[in-house]
């Protein structure tokens, strides 16, 4: 998994981990903040939430265009500074009036624009690392590692958001609404760490920053190569993929909206004993370490490596046993944002499993192409919402739940959401890192930044459509809400298979 990877991959991945930790800490509580701080209806809060997500993923198109002209490294640095300013404004408690709303909107615009300069261009730089012949066969696994690093940051974000808010309330005496701003301030700290990593290890990837100082001969060779390939066919193939992934992100990013609403309103408010163990991020980390240690046992090349891995597994199992004993008789309140830790934890844990499966298939000449993996990812996403349909039958509508007496409210087991996030993660691993790898491989050299921006535009459109879930949330039965996403995923998968030959032609 980690063999034959360029050193610059790890530096860029860790820089991205810091930025993503702050972003997901903010995002874990943002939808709930909008409703509590400003008293917004679910649909209105959903519209603001989805518009922000759309901007975050739409503006990389322009960031890519600027980078194609001025260089990726410059845009990444400027992007970090602009994001920092945005998070700094968002972290100031301004209350819930018009001034506070204007300040929040200004902060969101800064964060969106900064992310537009940072996110896509950093990923282009990762792709450029694999243009060297010796690393070309490791592109897909490299992007899987990069994607895993993103989710390491996201894994700890919900816990950080919940804990920092609890500390602000209990130790500093802030109201619950004002405590949200402390969660937003975490992003400022994480960006300082991100830029420190970026410049501290810049020597390992400086050659892919593309500062437009190439000599004329190099540019002529690149242009000749592009003319030799069917640039138009490549761009069309990428646009077809972009059209499909719109609906994946529309369904997937319900994790911050309707799935968070569901966690807040319909999941059992507390759990006791062993049922509380998945909600402690320490236990999730221990399980992840066990997975990686198992791989070290089976793939390790020395007896020493296998023995160390075995000892690590025993230590982790002992720690889990201690945690289990400590959990008995203890009641744990479930904060809605904490459910967002499961998707990134599953990504980190399952990435080596995914790579092992595809490596095994590749060795036998049966590995699916990147477009085929994307189509499978759409089918899996639909299956995730089928779980929600089954688990929501018999529950009240959101409107009825809001006015029902405590004795009449209907609740679901928290494992329903955990299972849904697990299946959604399988879909994500098939679609997201493979899609990014596909773009970096197929995009014409002179359009790499723009085409990576196109991937984010598709993500932006999907994020903008996330708001559909917010507007459906109310009088409709829950199973109807989830069925909408199932239908969209199935139609997208069908379209993908219909154009598969054209897509695989350019791979």
pLDDT at 208 over 90: no
In the predicted model, what is the mean pLDDT of residues 1-29?
87
Strands 331-333 and 270-272: antiparallel
In the predicted model, what is the mean pLDDT of residues 218-241?
70
Of the two residues 228 and 111, the one the predictor is more confident about is 111
Residue 143 is predicted with a pLDDT of 83
Residue 219 is predicted with a pLDDT of 47
Residue 218 is predicted with a pLDDT of 47
222 and 446 Cβ atoms separated by less than 8 Å: yes
Nearest to 28 by CA among 197, 381, 264: 264
Tokens coding 159: 């816990």
Residue 213 is predicted with a pLDDT of 47
Residue 69 confidence class, pLDDT cut points 50, 70, 90: confident
Nearest to 151 by CA among 24, 63, 1: 24
Residue 102 is predicted with a pLDDT of 94
Mean pLDDT lowest among 68-72, 103-107, 303-307:
68-72
Q: What is the mean pLDDT of the chain?
A: 88
**Integer CA distances (angstroms), 349 to 59, 155, 368, 458, in order:** 31, 11, 22, 27
Torsion of CA 20, 26, 29, 35, to 10 degrees: -140
Please classify residue 202 by burial: count the beta carbons closer than 10 Å to its beta carbon, then call 0-12 exposed, 13-18 middle and 19+ buried. middle
Secondary element (H or E) of residue 372: helix 370-392
CA distance 71 to 251: 34
What count of Cα atoms within 13 Å lies in the side-chain half-sphere of residue 114? 24
Of the two residues 409 and 218, the one the predictor is more confident about is 409
Share of the chain above pLDDT 70, in %: 96
pLDDT at 445 over 80: no
> Could you give phi then psi for residue 22, rounded to 5 degrees?
-65, -40
**Mind listing the pLDDT tens digit for each residue in 119-171?**
888 988 988 888 888 887 788 788 888 888 888 888 888 888 889 999 999 99
CA distance 155 to 283: 12
Residue 359 is predicted with a pLDDT of 82
Residue 389 is predicted with a pLDDT of 97
At the topology level, CATH places domain 7-209+229-269+334-505 in Growth Hormone; Chain: A; (1.20.1250)
CA 13 to the chain's CA centroid? 13
CA distance 381 to 255: 12
Residue 215 is predicted with a pLDDT of 40
**Mind listing the pLDDT tens digit for each residue in 333-364?**
998 888 988 998 999 999 888 888 888 888 88
Mean pLDDT lowest among 1-10, 109-118, 401-410, 498-507:
1-10
For helices 42-58 and 60-70, angle between their N-to-C axes, nearest 10 degrees: 20
CA distance 11 to 20: 14
CA distance 467 to 133: 44
For helices 448-465 and 414-442, angle between their N-to-C axes, nearest 10 degrees: 150
Please classify residue 323 by burial: count the beta carbons closer than 10 Å to its beta carbon, then call 0-12 exposed, 13-18 middle and 19+ buried. middle
Q: Which residues contact 340 (CB under 8 A, 6 or more apart)?
A: 24, 27, 28, 154, 157, 158, 255, 256, 260
Residue 495 is predicted with a pLDDT of 94
- In this structure, the number of other CB atoms found within 10 A of the CB of residue 225 comes to 12
Residue 108 confidence class, pLDDT cut points 50, 70, 90: very high
Residue 221 is predicted with a pLDDT of 52
CA distance 47 to 468: 8
CA distance 368 to 371: 8
Residue 229 is predicted with a pLDDT of 52
**Mind listing the pLDDT tens digit for each residue in 172-200?**
988 888 899 998 998 899 999 999 999 99
For helices 176-200 and 72-90, angle between their N-to-C axes, nearest 10 degrees: 160
Tokens coding 26: 């903010």
CA distance 83 to 108: 9
Residue 504 confidence class, pLDDT cut points 50, 70, 90: confident
Of the two residues 420 and 120, the one the predictor is more confident about is 420
**Mind listing the pLDDT tens digit for each residue in 232-286?**
888 889 999 999 989 999 999 898 889 999 999 999 999 998 899 999 999 999 9
CA distance 53 to 268: 29
**Mind listing the pLDDT tens digit for each residue in 307-337?**
999 999 999 999 999 999 999 888 889 988 8
Its pTM stands at: 0.80
């Amino acid at each position: 998994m980690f063999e034959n990877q360029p050193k610059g991959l790890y530096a860029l991945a860790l820089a991205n981990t810091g930025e993503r930790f702050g972003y997901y800490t903010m995002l874990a509580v943002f939808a709930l903040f909008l409703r509590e701080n400003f008293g917004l209806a679910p649909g209105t809060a959903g519209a603001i939430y989805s518009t922000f997500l759309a901007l975050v993923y739409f503006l990389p198109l322009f960031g890519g265009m600027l980078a194609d002209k001025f260089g990726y490294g410059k845009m990444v640095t400027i992007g970090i500074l602009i994001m920092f300013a945005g998070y700094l404004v968002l972290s100031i408690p301004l209350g819930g009036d018009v001034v506070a709303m204007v300040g929040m909107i200004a902060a969101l615009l800064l964060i969106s624009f900064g992310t537009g300069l940072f996110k896509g261009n950093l990923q282009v730089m990762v792709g450029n690392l694999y243009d060297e012949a010796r690393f070309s066969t490791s592109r897909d696994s490299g992007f899987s590692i990069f994607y895993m690093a993103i989710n390491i940051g996201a894994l700890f974000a919900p816990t950080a958001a919940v804990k920092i808010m609890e500390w602000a309330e209990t130790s500093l005496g802030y109201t619950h609404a004002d405590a949200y701003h402390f969660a937003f301030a975490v992003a400022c700290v994480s960006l300082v760490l991100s830029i420190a990593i970026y410049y501290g290890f810049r020597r390992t990837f400086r050659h892919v920053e593309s500062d437009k100082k190439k000599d004329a001969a190099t540019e002529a060779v690149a242009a000749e190569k592009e003319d030799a390939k069917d640039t138009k066919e490549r761009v069309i193939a990428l646009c077809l993929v972009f059209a499909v992934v719109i609906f994946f992100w529309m369904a997937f990013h319900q994790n911050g909206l309707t799935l968070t609403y569901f966690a807040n309103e319909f999941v059992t408010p507390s759990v006791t004993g062993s049922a509380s163990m998945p909600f402690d991020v320490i236990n999730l980390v221990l399980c992840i370490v066990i997975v990686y240690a198992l791989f070290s046992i089976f793939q390790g090349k020395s007896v020493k490596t296998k023995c160390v891995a075995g000892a690590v597994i025993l230590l982790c199992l002992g720690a889990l046993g201690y945690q289990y004993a400590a959990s008995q008789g203890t009641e744990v309140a479930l904060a809605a944002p904490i459910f967002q830790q499961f998707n990134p934890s599953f990504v980190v844990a399952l990435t080596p499993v995914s790579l092992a499966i595809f490596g095994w298939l590749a060795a036998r000449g049966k590995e699916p192409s990147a477009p085929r993996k994307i189509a499978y990812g759409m089918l899996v996403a639909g299956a995730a919402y089928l779980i929600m349909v089954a688990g929501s039958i018999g529950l009240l509508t959101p409107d009825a739940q809001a006015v029902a007496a405590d004795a009449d409210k209907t609740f679901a087991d928290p494992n329903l959401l955990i299972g849904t996030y697990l299946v959604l993660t399988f879909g994500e691993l098939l679609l997201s890192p493979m899609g990014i790898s596909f773009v970096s491989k197929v995009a014409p050299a002179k359009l790499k930044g723009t085409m990576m921006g196109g991937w984010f535009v598709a993500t932006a459109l999907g994020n903008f459509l996330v708001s559909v879930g917010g507007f459906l949330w109310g009088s409709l039965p829950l199973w109807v809400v989830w069925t909408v996403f199932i239908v969209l995923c199935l139609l997208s998968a069908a379209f993908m298979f219909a154009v598969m030959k054209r897509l695989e032609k350019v791979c």
